[in-house]
A = this chain, B = another copy of it.
Amino acid sequence: MNVPPKVIRIGQAVLCVTDLQASRHFYVDLLGLNILHESAEALYLRAVEDREWSLKLELAPTPGVRHIGFKAGSDLDLDRIAALADREGLPHRWDTETDRPRMLRIQDPFGFPIVFYYQSVKYPWLLQRFDLHRGAGIQRVDHCNLFTTDVAAMTRWYIDNLGFRLTEYSEDDSHRLWASWLQNKGHAHDFALTNGKGPKLHHFAYWMPDAMRISQVCDILAGANEEFRIERGPGRHGITNAFFLYLRDPDGHRIELYTGDYLTVDPDFEPIRWNVNDARRQQMWGGIAPRSWFLEGSAVEAFDGGWMRQEETALAGLPAYVR
């Protein structure tokens, strides 16, 4: 039997930012993420449950996404993913990062820069150092969401080759797949795919211990006169049952604070289907969402540098409930 290499969960993102002090103010002072390492060129951040860094902000001339990273099941799994990349003719290379001595970077068939790692230096978590929690106490890295022009093919590829499981999806009346939610860690998702001009990152998300702390983030931003960083929410997605809040960082990267999902560990879990025209899938509380939320995202790095050229999707048109 052909068991795919084991991928455990999403683990990290590396975002290029153009003003590290502005980013530090947003992520550390306002959101309360915790600094593990800091230099003139980069900040390595983590939430209170994270034992490793989960977000690197790297100073760069232009904003974008250096890569998204998944934790693999072992170093052997990394080798198997490298073999997969060989077989499929995907650009790939071995790389290192602070605390991560062995990372495999591939460009997936859909243009995304994906890193896999197993080894990672661990630090005592802050989960029970409640006295050190700042801001709203962001708890752990949860997932990312990617814009792609071919949700169906990309969903299939990650299921077949890396063992991800589908939890929810939206399709139109012609059964064309518009979006999918995929996971390995036993919750609603490690990453989601959204139909749109891509490849782009829609958002990177952290899990919060309860809904009230998500409202507290709005208050903190308002107190600092930075309410313009709130793009959407708080609200409740039908899909994943997420209590959500979307922020835009100083470079426009979208960050979601998220809670409210459910377990998906049962082997006979049946993916939940939504009609793409059912507005409840994206906001159970009704109302309209800003156009920017449906269209904008962060460029992702090409394998040899520079940003991937983005292509329009064939499944064009925005749902009626977009503002």
Residues of A in contact with B (beta carbons under 8 Å apart): 8-9, 29-30, 49, 71, 73-74, 118, 122, 127-133, 140, 184-187, 209-212, 215-216, 218-224, 227-228, 230, 234-236, 238, 241, 243, 259-260, 262-263, 265-268, 270, 280, 283-287, 290, 323
Are B212 and A266 closer than 8 Å at their CB atoms?
Answer: no
Are A227 and B285 closer than 8 Å at their CB atoms?
Answer: yes
What separation, in Å, do the CA atoms of A131 and B186 have in the docked complex? 27
Residue in contact with A227 in the complex, picked from B8, B118, B132, B286, CB distance below 8 Å: B286
Are B262 and A130 closer than 8 Å at their CB atoms?
Answer: no
What separation, in Å, do the CA atoms of A266 and B70 have in the docked complex? 11
What separation, in Å, do the CA atoms of A128 and B216 have in the docked complex? 12
For the complex formed, measure the closest distance between the CB of A205 and the CB atoms of chain B, giving whole angstroms: 14
Copies of this chain in its oligomeric complex: 4
Across the A-B interface, the 4 shortest Cβ-Cβ residue pairs: A130-B223, A210-B210, A227-B286, A130-B219
Residue in contact with A219 in the complex, picked from B122, B218, B227, B284, CB distance below 8 Å: B284
Chain B residues closer than 8 Å to A223, beta-carbon distance: 128-133
For the complex formed, measure the closest distance between the CB of A130 and the CB atoms of chain B, giving whole angstroms: 3
- Chain B: CB-nearest residue to A120: B268
What separation, in Å, do the CA atoms of A266 and B72 have in the docked complex? 9
For the complex formed, measure the closest distance between the CB of A127 and the CB atoms of chain B, giving whole angstroms: 6
Given A128-B241, A209-B210, A219-B284, 12 extra CB contacts under 8 A: A8-B265, A8-B267, A29-B131, A49-B263, A140-B262, A185-B263, A210-B210, A210-B211, A211-B215, A222-B236, A227-B286, A234-B234
Chain B residues closer than 8 Å to A290, beta-carbon distance: 287
- Chain B: CB-nearest residue to A283: B227
Chain B residues closer than 8 Å to A210, beta-carbon distance: 209-212
Are B280 and A227 closer than 8 Å at their CB atoms?
Answer: yes
Are A130 and B185 closer than 8 Å at their CB atoms?
Answer: no
Interface-centre pick from A73, A129, A221, A223 (highest chain B CB count, 10 A): A223
Chain B residues closer than 8 Å to A73, beta-carbon distance: 267
Are A218 and B236 closer than 8 Å at their CB atoms?
Answer: yes
Sampled A-B contacts (22; CB under 8 Å) = A8-B266, A8-B267, A49-B262, A118-B267, A122-B268, A127-B262, A128-B241, A130-B222, A130-B224, A133-B223, A185-B263, A185-B265, A210-B210, A211-B215, A215-B234, A215-B243, A218-B284, A222-B284, A227-B284, A228-B286, A230-B287, A323-B323
